[in-house]
Amino acid sequence: MVVVWVLIVVGMGFASQAFLADALTTDIDFTNNPESKQAMQLIEEKITGEQQDTEFFIILHELLPVADPTFEAYVRTVQQEIIALGDEVVAGDVVTYYDVLAASKQTPDPSEQTRLQEQAVSLVSTDGRATLIAVPIVDIEIETVDKLRPISEGNGEGGFRILLAGGATLNADTTEIAEEDLRQSEMIGIGIALVVLIVVFAAVIAAVLPLSIALVAIPISFGAIGLVSAAFGVSFSLFTTNIASSIGLAVGIDYSLFIIARYREERRKGFDPPSAIVAAGATASRAVFFSGLTVVFALLGMLIMPTTIFRSMAAGAIFVVIGSIAASLTLLPALMGLLKDRINWPRLSKRARVEGDHDPKGGFWDRTTNAVMARPVVFLVISVAILGSLASIYFTIDKGTTQSAATLPDEVESKQAFLILSKDFAAGGRTDPVQIYIGGPSTPKLHAAVAELQEAIAADPAFADEAQITAAPGGASLLVSAIPVGDAFGNNTFDGVRRLREEIIPPIFEGTDAEVLVGGMPAIFTDFLAQTDTYQPIVLAFVLSLSFLLLMIVFRSIVVPLKAVIMNLLSVGAAYGAIVLVFQEQSNGFLNAIHHFAIDFFNLIGFQFQEVESIEAWLPLLLFSILFGLSMDYHVFLLSRIREEYDKTGDNTEAVA
């Protein structure tokens, strides 16, 4: 069996090396068809063709104005460096202020001249000492952004400063910071887990074995992700591997710990090693199997969400849980059979002896459990009050997206660039405008409605005064671009999108027979937030129902699964509340003091926590599926063992203790 597992791990390792890199992407897409997706499809089909993502180089000088020949010469040099990157990075013309201004002077069409002059002005800062270079790029992958970054490293030359701004850069910085944080958390988690396992088992091999099982399941899940992508042509979110690693460590360690602990207990009862392995398999392994199913069922809820990021993370997590179950039920017993009592080597404490009492009395947990059982109502009220109070804080959550520059540390270049766009160009969302598709017969009434829409956009506090219009060939369709004045992925812009859809567009275009749809990246994220809110209760109902049915089958009871569902909902709610309390400013003075203390405390011990304006919208749903699955997992462990003892003794108090 060990040889078989070695071959499986090696094979999946090769599959991971061959296919995993191509399987991962930073793109997020809908699997259904919300308004923003419809708008983008029509815009590309009828007006713009396939739209290229655009990044901006911001070039600033403390003294020189943009009109100065020295400034123009420097911009032209940077422009040539960008063009030299070739079609592997650049997808079209690299446009500067000087190019647009020259084109405005050459065109004989007065309206076109006015449009180009307005475009040229938009590429210069309000103080006249900074300009933008627009760079259409082939994609928004991190590799593409990394090829652009060296150009912005020319800061300080001749008093000039260069910053790179845009959705791709923001996404790359957000992803890199998140991945680095996740890697650090995984390393910290492994270290803490190893220390805890050594304390629990008081033996090095017994402590390392659960980690080994987890580290077997993780590469298997990576290989599965790569193979599924290669076979079916689907892509997985870049964060899928991080989720798989974190959950793989959690469940791999838990399942192995439970089985190894039961094996050692059976040895203390006097069973020889083979018999102890069989006894552990008949009890602990059965509990592990059903516990793993509860985690898988909880993760299945994320597949209901019609977005690729949820489905890909759910798939990666399910792969690693299945791998952990399989390794715990087959590889671990095989290793225990080979090691036998050497699993307790080197022994660090008397607790690792096979000759010890299998059911010691008077220990810390024995005393604690008996104290709780002696006053169950008191402890129930206290625990529900604490968990319920924490859970109530969740209802103050402000949901948003980490695509917002406001969530990044101040020293990150893309945040600095956004602040300059917002302050000096009066449009932080220039790189990601809201795009409004208008399709219908060209009539005076429609033209009047479009003009009224431009006025309404200019009057809306979420958008800049300019609302650019692009007509399709033949004029059958129009594209109106509204530029957010602040963060394109901030709540103010999302509110602006909602106002456009609900308050501004319907009355303006009533009776025009025009099809009007709001798209663009801000609208896509607005729809993402809306779908998260819409599907969250559906996912909760699905997961709760499925978990209830599974526990009812396992324990042949209605009260036990009902109690488990309620308890785990309470614990998940408390976890939600703790996240909101730590990371989000509180309106209550007492809670806000706790919030600032928590931030300072975690920063003091090495965690770089910071207050955020909004918490990632998909986080509650992701956490629910993971936390509910894991908490039900532990519930099954405990209840399985309690029922086993109760069946032997008939004493409920003693079985629980």
pLDDT of residue 485: 85
| pLDDT over 60 (residue 338) | yes
Running DSSP on this structure, what letter comes out for residue 346? Answer: S
Running DSSP on this structure, what letter comes out for residue 51? Answer: P
Instruction: Kindly report the CATH number that applies to the domain delimited by 180-360.
Output: 1.20.1640.10
Tell how strand 130-137 and strand 53-61 pair up.
antiparallel
Residues of the chain with CATH 1.20.1640.10: 180-360
Identity of residue 258: F
Asked if 500 and 518 touch (Cβ cutoff 8 Å), the reply is: yes
pLDDT of residue 176: 80
DSSP per residue over 549-611, as a string?
A: HHHHHHHT-SHHHHHHHHHHHHHHHHHHHHHHHHHS--SSHHHHHHHHHHHHHHHHTT-----
Q: Which residue has the higher pLDDT, 56 or 645?
A: 56
Taking the C-alpha atoms of residue 418 and residue 69, their distance in angstroms, rounded to an integer, is 27
Q: Which residue has the higher pLDDT, 368 or 427?
A: 368
Q: 109-157: per-residue pLDDT in tens?
A: 887 888 788 788 888 988 899 999 989 998 888 889 999 999 887 666 7
Could you tell me the strand order of the sheet in which 160-165 lies? 130-137, 53-61, 160-165
Q: 84-95: per-residue pLDDT in tens?
A: 999 899 998 999
In which element (H, E) is residue 461 found? none
Asked if 615 and 534 touch (Cβ cutoff 8 Å), the reply is: no
**Could you tell me the pLDDT band of residue 357, with boundaries at 50, 70 and 90?**
low
Taking the C-alpha atoms of residue 400 and residue 398, their distance in angstroms, rounded to an integer, is 7
**Could you tell me the pLDDT band of residue 355, with boundaries at 50, 70 and 90?**
low
Mean pLDDT of the chain: 87
656 Cα distance to chain centroid = 38
Q: 415-463: per-residue pLDDT in tens?
A: 888 778 777 775 556 778 999 999 988 888 999 999 999 999 999 999 9
DSSP per residue over 366-415, as a string?
A: HHHHHHHHHSHHHHHHHHHHHHHHHHHHGGG--EE-TTSGGGS-TT-HHH
What average pLDDT does this structure show over 480-499?
A: 89
pLDDT of residue 156: 63
pLDDT of residue 654: 73
Three-state secondary structure call for residue 300: helix
Examine residue 346 and say whether the peptide bond preceding it is cis (omega within 30 degrees of 0). Answer: yes
Phi, psi of 468 (to 5 degrees): -75, 145
Taking the C-alpha atoms of residue 247 and residue 302, their distance in angstroms, rounded to an integer, is 15
pLDDT of residue 361: 67
Is pTM, for the whole model, over 0.85? no
State what percent of residues in the chain have pLDDT above 70.
95
Q: 390-411: per-residue pLDDT in tens?
A: 999 999 888 877 556 666 777 7
Taking the C-alpha atoms of residue 447 and residue 512, their distance in angstroms, rounded to an integer, is 10
Identity of residue 375: R
Which residues 6+ apart lie within 8 Å of 192 measured at CB? Answer: none
Which region among 68-82, 187-201, 396-410 has the lowest average model confidence (pLDDT)?
396-410
pLDDT of residue 376: 86
Asked if 626 and 571 touch (Cβ cutoff 8 Å), the reply is: no
Taking the C-alpha atoms of residue 93 and residue 277, their distance in angstroms, rounded to an integer, is 69
